Structure 1
């Protein structure tokens, strides 16, 4: 990841607290073994004609998962990254989950970049007219 990108990265929590949410979208995610799960995304406007998608895929155990962040403008991806995260539990039995998460490693490999671009195309097809107008 370039140094320029590193200076302009936020976690999903930071984006949610800082920017206006335009739209929520859900797309299917297929695991390697064929199982399907939901990837839940929110689209935020971050500045004139530029937006960001924050998508969360929870693990089967619901103890963590993956968070994608995709910056885009005019229907084109500018940059993106994936982070793993772990849920924070408020009790010893792990039944009460905090709204905050603990972020772990940043995934920045060619396969991840391809997945982000593929997912972006799916999100693009589900964006409403308002979101498309605000983001490009």
Structure 2
């Protein structure tokens, strides 16, 4: 593994990325659970265009960055591919995530942005996300010890 030469701009870039992400979610209306629930009920396909547009921009950015640069500008690390196997955990986790998304009407990124537009009851969903992740981590740790 190569040595990391993290730029002092790394953390500010992460903050600005989050700021832009939250702003985009708020402007597009995707930080509002009722909009997301309308999408999940096939009443409003705006989320599809927001996600599709974001995927295209991200894909182009990653393609340009990984072909034009040999190292990440802010961390100095090599660009590498992380290959994730399509296994039972991916399917199970995706199904559970989908149920949680459908019940709460919001996905994790949009939940945090939703706080920014004054949706304070969403803190219950955020607390549930943290608790669910904690439980999964505890179970995984216990199973790996056996």
TM-score range, shorter chain: under 0.3
Q: TM-score, normalised by structure 1?
A: 0.23
* Structure with more helix by fraction: 2
Which is higher, the Rg of structure 1 or of structure 2? 2
* Structure with more strand by fraction: 1
Larger RCO (CA under 8 A, 6+ residues apart): 2
Q: TM-score, normalised by structure 2?
A: 0.22
